[in-house]
């Protein structure tokens, strides 16, 4: 390993001693926030305590406002309250829920004596600890002070407002976000009851999901997560069974309504989705967690079968872009040089660099980073390190580099992405190529890398066009023209293979009685009203038959090998003759789902500004991605491989990997003020992580090969989803929640 490879990458927060010196010399009122999750402490995180007390998977954890208590909810339908000072169990509450608890919170401004829970039985329950008299026993069986049964599907997430002790919000897979005011009522009838008339529906999204940005919102949006901004409490963020996170302003929403009245989904203030996912139409793609940053200026989204993405709430032109459905393809595939209008040839404007005050040592460091990236590209080894070297310069050293250096790093990173070929790396390469071409529209490297990206996507005609333009940008008799010639041969081979496939008919399917992919069936929305409504509101107007042979072993709630269904599945679809677009409402009335397409205006979405790659999020739909600390300078997420990962927010650089569970890590919550993190998952325990001077800088746990662990996760993400049975499917089978039309034979 050469000196460049041994380069120690600095962090933007400097050293702790620098912060202490700055405080003593100039004063620093926010020194505690900066030190709380300082990079030197994050790198030394290690397992301090494994807290035992549950008898099932721990699906939810949350701190109180002061950080003195931690509350947890589990599959055992109990709520546990833990003391942070001594790490001991204080209370073990039997909630009375009849299904897994998925969310629990302390209600603010109640002296931490009011806790609320939401569960798979579609109920929200409130418990007031102050009703206990005398000595409080550790194990408690107490009646809830309020029970809200109005949801018709599982309650997946709760939200509370800082300073508001009277209201809690619940997001459910029934497509509604409900507002429960303790001052108005302490109970409501179960969903479907004849006397159910509670008016607490804040967001009715039972007809709010869509497959792509261009689609009309006409499918049920099964809500998986929600969050309220701590800085702007009127802002509420929701995410569910499609690719789009929606930001609403509660002040602009219509009055609360009854679930008996089905309303059109309200207009959201902002919508967030990575550009390359906005038109994917993948039925399995959905959000598992959404979160505001501590300052409320950013949002974090975690996708099932995808990565974690960061967005600006109010983006500028430098960080991320706004786009509509009409411009998705244009943003991804900018025409090559000879087709770009003359007015777009100008270089992207960039503030000039003050060469007299430039830090020469940082410029020298940029050159060393380029050596690392170039060596990775040349040897096809340590590609992840090469990409992170480029990102370090592009994201952290913008003032110290000029346009030429920025163009070089963008092209190099694009080439590294195309060699690594992890999920969606090709789209990241396209982004870098487009940014490089804004700097230099006649860039040979950017055009050739764009051609390679298009070839990987199967867009052979466009790939050839970009290759021709790249060739035309080279001087005569240039040796680099050999690269273009080799590329043209690869395109020709791909075209021959495609033609051969078309001639054999392998890509053509019979329309009558055709088999669809398992993912099309498993991940289709199924949230609203009756089973008939769920089927007719789905993405396909087909009749469906299911042949199923299986045997079950292990705990159904576990995601590892011992808990999966073993057997075979066969699905067959038959086209329906009647293609009318009707559905049954919750009162049993048939109403036409006519939509005025002429009045539909294309939604505007905000593109991502950073991506975080290393983990695997496929097995569960409650996996969180969280900001760490009061400043939120680091991002953390659990993974299906039993680990959890920490990235630097600005650059996306992975800085820590920890072994946190025997199967899956789902929940990650950082302490409000200390450098401490609580995690939970499939195991029955909660793990508390704090800095340890003896901890390794990168890996905590038995796994030493970081790259192998990450590559294994990427293979899981890219694996054909017809093979992997997701947790959601297992739960529906166990709970007998399949839509009408399924026929199941078990052996």
Phi and psi at 76, nearest 5°, equal -80, 5
- Residue 26 is predicted with a pLDDT of 63
82-104 confidence digits (pLDDT tens)? 999 999 999 999 999 999 999 99
Cβ–Cβ < 8 Å for 50, 82: no
Q: Across the chain, what does the average pLDDT equal? A: 80
Q: Classify each residue of 341-367 as buried b or exposed e, where b means 16 or more C-beta atoms within 10 Å of its C-beta.
A: eeeeeeebeeeebeeeeeeeeebebbe
pLDDT for res 506:
57
Question: What pLDDT is recorded for position 423?
Answer: 92
Look at 32-36, 207-211, 430-434, 568-572 and tell me which has the smallest mean pLDDT: 568-572
Dihedral-angle region of residue 588 (phi above 0 means left; psi in -120 to 50 means alpha; beta otherwise):
left
Q: For residues 619 and 131, which has the higher predicted lDDT (pLDDT)?
A: 619
Range from 18-32, 292-306, 319-333 carrying the lowest mean pLDDT: 18-32
pLDDT value for 402: 86
- Which range has the top average pLDDT, 406-415, 689-698, 718-727? 406-415
Tell me the pLDDT band of 227, cut-offs 50, 70 and 90: very high
**CA nearest neighbour of 125 among 148, 141, 154, 106:** 148
Which one, of 15, 46, 707, 42, lies nearest residue 383 by Cα? 707
* pLDDT band at residue 521 using 50, 70 and 90 as cut-offs: very low
534 pLDDT higher than 90: no
Mean pLDDT, range 226-233, rounded to an integer: 97
The answer to whether residue 71 scores a pLDDT higher than 80 is yes
pLDDT level of residue 148 (50, 70, 90 thresholds): very high
Q: Is the pLDDT of residue 339 over 60?
A: yes
Average pLDDT over residues 379-407: 89
Average pLDDT for residues 717-738, to the nearest whole number?
49
**Residue 646: pLDDT above 80?**
yes
What is the predicted pLDDT for the residue at 704?
Answer: 60
DSSP state of 192: T
> Which has the minimum average pLDDT: 245-259, 363-377, 702-716?
702-716
CATH code that applies to domain 359-474+484-491: 1.25.40.10
- Least reliable range by pLDDT among 207-221, 510-524, 630-644: 510-524
Which residue in the block uniquely carries the two structure tokens 């967690």? 289
Report the pLDDT value the prediction gives residue 132, as an integer from 0 to 100.
Answer: 63
pLDDT score for 4: 41
State if pTM tops 0.95.
Answer: no
DSSP 356-369: TT--HHHHHHHHHH
- Residue-level pLDDT at 571: 43
Render pLDDT for 320-333 as a digit per residue (tens, 0 to 9): 788 988 888 777 77
Q: What residue ranges of the chain are covered by domains with CATH 2.130.10.10?
A: 16-52+154-331+604-718
* CATH superfamily placement of domain 16-52+154-331+604-718: YVTN repeat-like/Quinoprotein amine dehydrogenase (2.130.10.10)
DSSP codes of every residue in 434-459: HHHHHH-TT-HHHHHHHHHHHHHTT-
- Computed on alpha carbons and rounded to an integer, the radius of gyration of the chain in Å comes to 27
CATH 1.25.40.10: which residues of the chain?
A: 359-474+484-491
- pLDDT winner (highest mean) among 354-358, 377-381, 498-502, 735-739: 377-381
Q: Distance of CA 86 to CAs 48, 71, 89, 404, 590, Å?
A: 12, 15, 9, 56, 59
Classify residue 59 as exposed, middle or buried by CB count within 10 Å of its CB (0-12, 13-18, 19+).
buried
Collapse the DSSP code of 340 into the 3-class scheme (helix H, G, I; strand E, B; otherwise coil) and give the result. Answer: coil
């Amino acid at each position: 390993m050469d000196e460049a490879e041994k380069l120690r990458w600095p962090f933007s927060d400097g050293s702790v001693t620098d912060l202490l010196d700055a405080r003593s010399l100039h004063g620093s009122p926010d020194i505690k926030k900066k030190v709380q999750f300082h990079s030197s402490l994050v790198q030394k995180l290690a397992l301090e305590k494994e807290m035992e007390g549950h008898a099932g998977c721990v699906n939810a954890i949350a701190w109180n406002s002061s950080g003195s208590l931690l509350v947890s909810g589990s599959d055992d339908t109990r709520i546990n309250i833990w003391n942070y000072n001594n790490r001991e169990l204080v209370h073990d509450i039997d909630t009375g829920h009849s299904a897994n608890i998925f969310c629990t919170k302390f209600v603010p401004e109640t002296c931490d004596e009011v806790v609320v829970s939401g569960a798979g039985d579609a109920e929200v329950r409130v418990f007031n600890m102050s009703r206990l008299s005398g000595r409080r026993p550790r194990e408690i069986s107490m009646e809830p002070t309020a029970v809200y049964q109005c949801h018709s599907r599982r309650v997946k997430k709760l939200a509370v407002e800082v300073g508001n002790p009277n209201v809690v919000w619940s997001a459910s897979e029934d497509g509604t976000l409900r507002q429960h005011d303790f001052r108005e009522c302490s109970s409501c009838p179960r969903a479907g009851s004849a006397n159910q008339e509670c008016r607490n529906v804040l967001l009715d999204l039972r007809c709010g999901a869509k497959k792509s940005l261009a689609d009309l919102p006409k499918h049920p949006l099964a809500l998986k997560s929600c969050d309220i901004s701590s800085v702007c409490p009127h802002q509420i963020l929701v995410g569910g069974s499609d690719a789009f996170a929606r930001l609403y302003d509660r002040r602009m929403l219509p009055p609360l309504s009854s679930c008996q009245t089905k309303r059109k989904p309200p207009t959201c203030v902002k919508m967030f989705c990575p550009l390359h996912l906005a038109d994917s139409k993948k039925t399995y793609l959905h959000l598992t967690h959404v979160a505001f940053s501590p300052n409320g200026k950013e949002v974090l989204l975690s996708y099932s079968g995808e990565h974690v993405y960061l967005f600006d709430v109010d983006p500028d032109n430098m960080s991320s872009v706004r786009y509509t459905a009409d411009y998705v393809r244009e943003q991804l595939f900018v025409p090559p040089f000879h087709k770009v209008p003359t007015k777009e040839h100008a270089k992207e404007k960039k503030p000039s660099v003050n060469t007299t005050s430039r830090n020469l040592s940082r410029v020298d460091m940029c050159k060393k980073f380029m050596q690392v990236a170039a060596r990775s590209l040349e040897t096809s080894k340590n590609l992840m390190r090469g990409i992170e070297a480029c990102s370090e310069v592009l994201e952290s050293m913008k003032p110290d580099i000029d346009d030429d250096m920025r163009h070089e790093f963008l092209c190099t990173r694009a080439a590294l992405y195309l060699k690594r070929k992890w999920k969606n790396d090709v789209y990241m390469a396209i982004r870098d190529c487009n940014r490089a071409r804004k700097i230099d529209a006649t860039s040979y490297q950017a055009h050739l890398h764009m051609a390679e990206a298009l070839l990987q996507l199967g867009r052979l005609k466009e790939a050839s066009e970009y290759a021709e333009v790249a060739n035309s940008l080279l001087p005569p008799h240039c040796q680099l023209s050999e690269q273009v010639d080799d590329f043209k041969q690869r395109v020709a081979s791909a075209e021959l293979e495609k033609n051969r496939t078309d001639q054999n008919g392998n890509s053509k399917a019979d329309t009558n009685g055709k088999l669809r992919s398992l993912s099309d069936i498993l991940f289709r929305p199924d949230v609203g009203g009756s089973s008939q409504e769920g089927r007719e509101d789905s993405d396909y107007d087909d009749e469906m038959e299911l042949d199923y042979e299986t045997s079950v072993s292990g705990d159904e709630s576990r995601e590892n090998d011992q808990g999966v269904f073993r057997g075979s599945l066969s699905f067959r679809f038959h086209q329906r003759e009647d293609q009318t677009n009707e559905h049954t409402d919750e009162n049993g009335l048939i109403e036409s789902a006519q939509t005025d397409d002429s009045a539909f205006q294309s939604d505007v979405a905000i593109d991502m500004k950073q991506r975080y790659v290393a983990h695997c999020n496929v097995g569960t739909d409650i996996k969180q991605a969280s900001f760490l600390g009061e400043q939120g300078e680091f991002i953390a997420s659990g993974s299906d491989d039993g680990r959890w990962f920490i990235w630097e927010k600005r650059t996306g650089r992975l800085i820590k990997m920890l072994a946190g569970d025997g199967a899956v890590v789902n929940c990650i919550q950082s302490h409000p003020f200390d450098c401490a993190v609580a995690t939970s998952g499939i195991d029955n325990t909660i793990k508390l992580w704090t800095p340890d001077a003896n901890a390794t800088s990168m890996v905590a746990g038995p796994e030493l090969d970081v790259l192998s662990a990450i590559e294994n996760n990427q293979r899981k993400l890219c694996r054909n989803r017809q093979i992997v049975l997701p947790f959601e499917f297992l739960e529906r089978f166990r709970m007998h929640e399949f839509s009408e039309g399924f026929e199941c034979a078990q052996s």
